[in-house]
Chain A
Amino acid sequence: DADVTQTPRNRITKTGKRIMLECSQTKGHDRMYWYRQDPGLGLRLIYYSFDVKDINKGEISDGYSVSRQAQAKFSLSLESAIPNQTALYFCATSDRRTTDTQYFGPGTRLTVL
């Protein structure tokens, strides 16, 4: 089984709809991240969480919100989706006790029409 899973893997939605992307991990890591990837821009950090009670904005948090429901779960919400939020979204985890290595989920391709 994959250590970091994301659901859904693909989603097409319309402008104005609320969307939630979910991330679960079985690695026991305390840190979780949400990124988006756009062609030519690399990965950009949306939000990150160092534990259940610690949520931080990344470089492009506007239009997004997150919830860390448990150590193993970190969800990303688009309250009112817009077309420029069409992108590939990655969840990642890391453990501060070992290395700074991040482990990525398989990604969610979101298309906002």
Chain B
Amino acid sequence: EDKVVQSPLSLVVHEGDTVTLNCSYEVTNFRSLLWYKQEKKAPTFLFMLTSSGIEKKSGRLSSILDKKELSSILNITATQTGDSAIYLCAVDKRDDKIIFGKGTRLHILP
């Protein structure tokens, strides 16, 4: 059975801290791994990772995929209160299905 597991499920840190969110997966026909940020309601796309070892970066956020370990991490440096959200990891399969993890709820204290 396909599964995507995120850890931790929730995290509370102070503004300015650096956080690392984890995502591991066991799926057949892996195509890519996706990270989303969900604030209030609809998720917004952050990164799509297809190649192992190549870091993707957007401002203070970065992510990397390790296909050998079947995992990915999402790093956020110098966190701000606006980073408070649920971060979703998903795996896109070659049969065009997408499997989501349960998300990590991140709360940044001022």
Contact B98 A106 (CB under 8 A): no
Contact A100 B43 (CB under 8 A): no
Taking the complex as formed, is A73 at the interface, i.e. its CB lies under 8 A from any CB of chain B?
A: no
Question: Which chain A positions have C-beta within 8 A of B92?
Answer: 100
Least CB separation from A91: chain B residue: B42
Question: Which chain B positions have C-beta within 8 A of A43?
Answer: 43, 88, 90, 100
With known contacts A50-B96, A106-B41, A107-B41, A100–B32 Cβ distance under 8 A: yes
Contact of A42 among B44, B48, B97, B103 (CB under 8 A): B103
Contact A100 B31 (CB under 8 A): yes
Taking the complex as formed, is A102 at the interface, i.e. its CB lies under 8 A from any CB of chain B?
A: yes
How far apart are A30's CB and chain B's nearest CB, in angstroms? 11
Contact B48 A45 (CB under 8 A): no
Least CB separation from A4: chain B residue: B42
Instruction: Give Cα distance in the complex from A101 to B90, angstroms.
Output: 11
Instruction: Report the contact-size class of chain A (Cβ under 8 Å from the partner).
Output: 20 to 34
Contact A104 B42 (CB under 8 A): yes
Instruction: Report the contact-size class of chain B (Cβ under 8 Å from the partner).
Output: 20 to 34
Contact of B101 among A42, A99, A102 (CB under 8 A): A42
Instruction: Give Cα distance in the complex from A99 to B31, angstroms.
Output: 12
Instruction: Give Cα distance in the complex from A35 to B101, angstroms.
Output: 13
Contact of B100 among A44, A48, A101, A103 (CB under 8 A): A44
Instruction: Give Cα distance in the complex from A58 to B88, angstroms.
Output: 19
With known contacts A42-B100, A50-B96, A99–B44 Cβ distance under 8 A: no
Contact A107 B42 (CB under 8 A): yes
Question: Which chain B positions have C-beta within 8 A of A107?
Answer: 41-42
Instruction: Give Cα distance in the complex from A40 to B10, angstroms.
Output: 10
With known contacts A43-B88, A88-B41, A90-B42, A102–B98 Cβ distance under 8 A: yes
22 CB contacts below 8 A, A to B, read A33-B98, A41-B102, A42-B102, A43-B43, A44-B100, A45-B97, A45-B98, A48-B97, A88-B41, A90-B43, A100-B31, A101-B34, A101-B45, A101-B48, A102-B45, A104-B42, A104-B43, A104-B44, A106-B41, A106-B42, A107-B41, A107-B42
